[in-house]
Amino acid sequence: MREAEIRRNTAETQIRVRLCLDGDGTFRGSSGIGFFDHMLTLLAVHGGFTLELDAKGDLDVDNHHTVEDIGIALGEALKQALGDKRGIRRYGCFFCPMDDALSRIVLDLSGRPYFVYDVQIPVERIGSFETEMTREFFLALAMHGAMNLHMACLYGVNGHHIVESLFKGLGHALAEAVSLRGEGTVLSSKGVL
């Protein structure tokens, strides 16, 4: 089983993430932020992952520390679960429509983190979720998961739909990238990722 459990404890948050790449498409637990939990559920379902989360954060301040630290922990869990990346497809790409919104997610599990985010969300909040934290979550995930991640919303007017298309699209792109090609080789001319 390709899985990992990461604990991240700071003065601001206490996070436990367990990720199984060959899972059953379920999310269990809570961040304390209803809309963000909905997005993590979509990521797990569309990626085919099992994702468990225990999180306590300073939500009385704002969403920032909790959402970012979950991104950090999830990125580290992804990196650990992939091990030496032997046999994975490495690359993933998905265009995700969600009603009025269309997002494009392209990624490379290269071991060299990079992040490009071309997304405009027309509202400041969805429920209690601060929408600027969408970028911060994906940035933390990319940096700590050591992936090259490019995300764009090509168009869309509804903030909920835009964010949902990003999370669903990431699930599909990650599922493609972590899938096994049936060979035990590393997909790199260097022989290592």
Q: How confident is the model at residue 1 (pLDDT cuts 50, 70, 90)?
A: confident
Mean pLDDT of the chain: 97
pLDDT tens-place string over residues 67-116: 999 999 999 999 999 999 999 999 999 999 999 999 999 999 999 999 99
Residue among 69, 152, 140, 83 nearest 111 (CA): 83
How many Å is the Cα radius of gyration of the chain? 16
pLDDT for residue 153: 98
Residue among 156, 63, 162, 167 nearest 105 (CA): 167
All domains of the chain, ordered by start, with CATH? 3-178 (3.30.230.40)
pLDDT for residue 79: 98
